[in-house]
């Protein structure tokens, strides 16, 4: 299974600022995804990070607020822009190695608090 | 898009009893159904999965069943132990060139010793 390193593990940020979260996978993976998990809630898919093209966003999420980069098959970043307290949550990246292995592996998550 | 519903939201059982969690999905194109266990403060961990061409799968005390016609799938844990206490998520995955995974709302399982 793939090993995913995500950083930072936590941060406290001022409202109006932006935070970039990084996700590094130890092997090349076809698909990478970004999820948000609010306390006590389920995982909500933000977007699919596509290598070499723009990310595909789910309903309710937009590129201006959550710009995503995917420069190669092992790395992706998610930026939470112009933060407000409502953005306080855990953000998780996950990777899917490809059609041969269907299950997703998760990074350890980034706990973001916006004050 | 895909929608996954999960019940119950909370489940409390006595140690040694069985626990059953049920999910339904909406998109008939979904063809892979993983279950994740998430302990407090940790990332979700895959515990068992089932593909659409299989009706049942078992791994020690854990089993999953899938009814594609009804779009239902269930997790069964037998002989529960206190360390089974966690939040369990069902999910449905659709092949979009890789598998995009949509999660259910989660079931908080308490196993009382």
- Stated as kind and residue range, the H or E segment containing A5 is strand A4-7
- Evaluate whether A49 touches A76 at the Cβ level (below 8 Å): yes
Inspect the interface and report whether the beta carbons of A42 and B104 lie closer than 8 Å: yes
* Nearest-CA distance B48 → chain A (Å): 10
Phi and psi torsions of B82, nearest 5°: -55, -30
pLDDT tens digits, one per residue of B31-59: 889 999 999 989 998 899 898 888 999 99
pLDDT over threshold 70, residue A97: no
First to last CA, chain B: 41
Inspect the interface and report whether the beta carbons of A48 and B96 lie closer than 8 Å: yes
If you measure CA to CA, which chain A residue comes closest to B108?
Answer: A40
What is the predicted pLDDT for the residue at A100? 47
* Nearest-CA distance B82 → chain A (Å): 20
Q: For residue A48, which of A65, A70, A27 has the smallest C-alpha distance? A: A70
């Amino acid at each position: 299974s793939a090993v995913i390193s995500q950083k930072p593990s936590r941060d406290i940020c001022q409202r109006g600022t932006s935070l970039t979260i990084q996700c590094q996978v130890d092997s090349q993976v076809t698909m990478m995804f970004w999820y948000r998990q609010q306390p006590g809630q389920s995982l909500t898919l933000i977007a699919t990070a596509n290598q070499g093209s723009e990310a595909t966003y789910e309903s309710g999420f937009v590129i201006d607020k959550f710009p995503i980069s995917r420069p190669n098959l092992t790395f992706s970043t998610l930026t939470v822009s112009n933060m407000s307290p409502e953005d306080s949550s855990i953000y998780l990246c996950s990777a899917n190695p490809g059609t041969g292995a269907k299950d997703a592996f998760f990074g350890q998550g980034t706990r973001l608090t916006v004050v | 898009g895909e929608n996954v519903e999960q019940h119950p939201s909370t489940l409390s059982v006595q140690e040694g009893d069985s626990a059953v969690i049920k999910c339904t999905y909406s998109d008939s194109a979904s063809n892979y159904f993983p279950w994740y266990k998430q302990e407090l403060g940790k990332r979700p961990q895959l515990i068992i999965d089932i593909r659409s061409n299989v009706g049942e799968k078992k791994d020690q005390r854990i089993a999953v069943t899938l009814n594609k016609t009804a779009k239902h799938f269930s997790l069964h844990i037998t002989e529960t132990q206190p360390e089974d206490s966690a939040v369990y998520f069902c999910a449905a995955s659709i092949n979009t060139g890789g598998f995009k995974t949509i999660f259910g709302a989660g079931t908080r399982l308490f196993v009382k010793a």
